[in-house]
Structure 1
Amino acid sequence: MKKRLYKNMVELTRNPLYTKMLKTFTASKLSGRLNRSFVKVFDIDQNEMERELHHYRTLNELFVRKLKSGVRPVTADEKTIISPVDGLLSQIGTINETATLRIKNKDYRLSTMLGFEKAVKRYSGGIFMLFYLSPRDYHRIHSPMNGKVVKRWALGKYSEPVNQWGLLFGDQPLAKNYRLITELEANNKRMAMVKVGALNVNSVHPVHLKETVEIGEEMAYFSFGSTVILLFEKGMIHPIFDETTVNYAIKQGQKIAELE
C-alpha cells in the first residue's frame, strides 16, 4: 500500500495543479515524517548516505541525497566509460540509419530528442544506452568519461511519466519530456548525455558549468526519478554489454564500455 502511494508521488501525470501540490509537499518539513517509511519501503541502504537519516528534513532532501565519499569508486582510465547513475541499464542498442531508437517496442526520433539536425546525423549508426532510475536509487548524475563540453541545451516544457506505462502509452516521453542535454567530445568523437525529466516542470538540475569534465564528476541531479540516455557516435566505443542486456542493475561508476 505504502509502496504504491510513493510510486504515485514520483510517477506523475501532466496535471500542473497536482505537480505543484506534490512539489510543495515534498519540500515541506511535514514530508520529512515519511522519510523513515520511504527508506524502509524502498530498501534504501542508509550506510551509503552522506548523512544520517534524521538530518534530512524533507522527503525531497532525502531524494536528492549525496553519498559518502568512496562508496562509488571510479576507474580513472582514459579509455573507460562508466555508468552515470545508479539504476537499471534498461536497454542498449544501435541508432539506425534513419536516426531512430527502438525502445520498448516503440520508435523514438532522434530529431525530436535532440532538436538539431546536425546532431542527428552525427549519431546515426551509433550506440545508445538507456538507464532508468527508480524511487530507491541515488539520483545524482555523473560524467561517464573524461571530455570537453561541446554544447549544453534544454528542450521540452512538460513531462509525462517514464515508467512502464508511460513508455507504452505516452507521446514519446523520452524524446519530448523536459530534458537537459550535454554533448562531450573525446578522441575527436562525441557523445550526448540526455537527462530526461519525469515531472511536468523542470526536475533536472545542472551543477556543472565548466568547459571540461572528469570521469565520475557530478553534472546534475533529479529532484524526481527519471531516465538518462547516452548516445555515442558510430565507432566511438566498444560496449561490454550487448543488445540482449535488459534491466541490468548497475551502480554509478561501474564500467559499461571502452573508447575505441
Structure 2
Amino acid sequence: MAQSMMRLFTELSSRKWIASITGHFSRSAASRPLIPYFAKMYKIPLHEAEKELAEYRTLNEFFTRRLKPGMRPVHPQPDALVSPVDSLITAMGPIEAGTLLNVKGQNYTIADLLNHSPRLEKYKHGFFFVLYLSPTDYHRIHAPVAGTKLESEHIKGRVYPVNDFGMTHMKSVLSRNERLITYIDHRPGEVALIKVGAMNVSSIQYTDPAAKAWERGDDLAYFEFGSTVVLFTENGTFQPLEGLKPGTAVKMGQLLGCFRRK
C-alpha cells in the first residue's frame, strides 16, 4: 500500500511544469538564503568550490558551481575513457544485443534510450555505464574522451526521480525522462553521452552550445539539480577497468577503462 501511494505521488509530481517552477525559484535571489542550509544538509565539500559560499547569488548558481583548478585530475593515459561526472556507478556491463540488463532490476533497450536514432546500431554490442549524481555531488558534466561532436539530440520527457525508489519502482525511468544526448567521435570509434533529467531538474544545459570539439575532461554540460548520466561505447572498442563494479563511487576524470582498436 505504501509503495503504491509513493508511486502515485511520484507520478503526479513528475510533470515538467513542476520542475520549471522549482527551477525558476532556484534561479531567483529569493533562493540565496537556502544555500548554507543546502550545503550543510548534503555535506558539500566547500573547500573544492571555485568561489566562497557567500559569493553565490542563487541556489542554482551554487548547485552548478565549478571547482577550483586541479580538484579533478584527468587520467593521462591516451586510450582512456574517464568518468564524465562525480557519481555512483549504479549499473555497468556489456550491451547484450541492444539491451542493458538488470539496471536496478529492469532491462532497457538502447533503441528507447537513444530515441530510435539511426546511430544505435553502433552500440548494440558495446558497453554501458549508468552514473547517478546525488545532491552532494559536483554537477557539471565533462567530456569522457577527446573528440568532435557528431550529433546532439534533445528528447522531451518526464522528470521521474532517478534515486533508488524511482529506478526500482517506476517503470523505465531512464528512457521516459527528458534526455540530452551527445554523440562524440574519437579514436577508435564514438561514444554516446546521455544526460537524463530527473525530478526538480529544471533543465540540462550545454556549457557552450556552439562547441564542436572537446579535449578529455573539458566542461561539456551541467544539470540544474541532480540526475543521471548514461554512457555508451561503440561495439568492440572498450575494455572496462578490472575490479570496477556497481556500487563504486567515482570522480570526474577517474579511469573507467581503456579503448582498443577495432
TM-score normalized with structure 1 length = 0.88
Q: Equivalent residues in 2 for 1:85-164 (5 A)?
A: 85-97=85-97, 99-102=98-101, 103-164=103-164
1:232 and 2:249 are equivalent in the alignment: no
Answer whether contact 2:201 2:227 (CA < 8 A) is retained: no
Q: Closer, same or farther in 2 for the Cα pair 1:235/1:204, shift >3 Å?
A: same
1:216-244 deviation per Cα after TM superposition (whole angstroms, max 9, x unaligned): 011100001000011011221111045x7
* Structure 2 SS opposite 1:96: coil
1:73-118 deviation per Cα after TM superposition (whole angstroms, max 9, x unaligned): 1134321111100111222111111x11121110112111112353
Q: Equivalent residues in 2 for 1:191-210 (5 A)?
A: 191-199=191-199, 203-208=203-208, 209-210=210-211
Cα separation, 1, equivalents of 2:152 and 2:36: 37
Cα separation, 1, equivalents of 2:154 and 2:104: 24
Q: 1:188 Cα deviation (Å)?
A: 4.1
Which consecutive unaligned segments of at least 5 residues does structure 2 have?
Answer: 1-11
Answer whether contact 1:90 1:131 (CA < 8 A) is retained: yes
Q: 1:246 Cα deviation (Å)?
A: 1.6
* Structure 1 SS opposite 2:130: strand
Answer whether contact 1:158 1:201 (CA < 8 A) is retained: no
Q: 1:16 Cα deviation (Å)?
A: 4.7
Cα separation, 1, equivalents of 2:41 and 2:96: 40
Letter in 1 for 2:115: G
Which consecutive unaligned segments of at least 5 residues does structure 1 have?
Answer: 1-11
* Structure 2 SS opposite 1:159: coil
Cα separation, 2, equivalents of 1:187 and 1:236: 9
Q: 1:133 Cα deviation (Å)?
A: 0.2
Q: Closer, same or farther in 2 for the Cα pair 1:24/1:200, shift >3 Å?
A: closer
* Structure 2 SS opposite 1:145: coil
Equivalent in the alignment of 1:211: 212
Q: Closer, same or farther in 2 for the Cα pair 1:126/1:17, shift >3 Å?
A: closer
Answer whether contact 1:241 1:256 (CA < 8 A) is retained: no
Answer whether contact 2:100 2:107 (CA < 8 A) is retained: yes
* Structure 1 SS opposite 2:22: helix
Cα separation, 2, equivalents of 1:131 and 1:76: 21
Q: Equivalent residues in 2 for 1:180-195 (5 A)?
A: 180-195=180-195
Count of matched residue positions in the alignment of Structure 1 and Structure 2: 247
Q: Closer, same or farther in 2 for the Cα pair 1:157/1:212, shift >3 Å?
A: same
Cα separation, 2, equivalents of 1:138 and 1:200: 16
Q: 1:126 Cα deviation (Å)?
A: 1.1
Answer whether contact 2:23 2:200 (CA < 8 A) is retained: no
Q: Equivalent residues in 2 for 1:4-153 (5 A)?
A: 13-16=13-16, 18-97=18-97, 99-102=98-101, 103-153=103-153
Letter in 2 for 1:223: E
Q: 1:151 Cα deviation (Å)?
A: 1.1
Q: 1:36 Cα deviation (Å)?
A: 1.1
Cα separation, 2, equivalents of 1:16 and 1:74: 35
> RMSD in angstroms over aligned alpha carbons?
1.9
Cα separation, 1, equivalents of 2:93 and 2:16: 34
Letter in 2 for 1:222: F
Q: Closer, same or farther in 2 for the Cα pair 1:229/1:241, shift >3 Å?
A: farther
Which range moved further: 184-193 or 202-211?
Answer: 202-211
TM-score normalized with structure 2 length = 0.88
Runs in 1 of length 4+ with deviation above 3 angstroms?
15-18, 199-202
Answer whether contact 1:86 1:251 (CA < 8 A) is retained: yes
Cα separation, 1, equivalents of 2:130 and 2:23: 26
Answer whether contact 2:23 2:224 (CA < 8 A) is retained: no
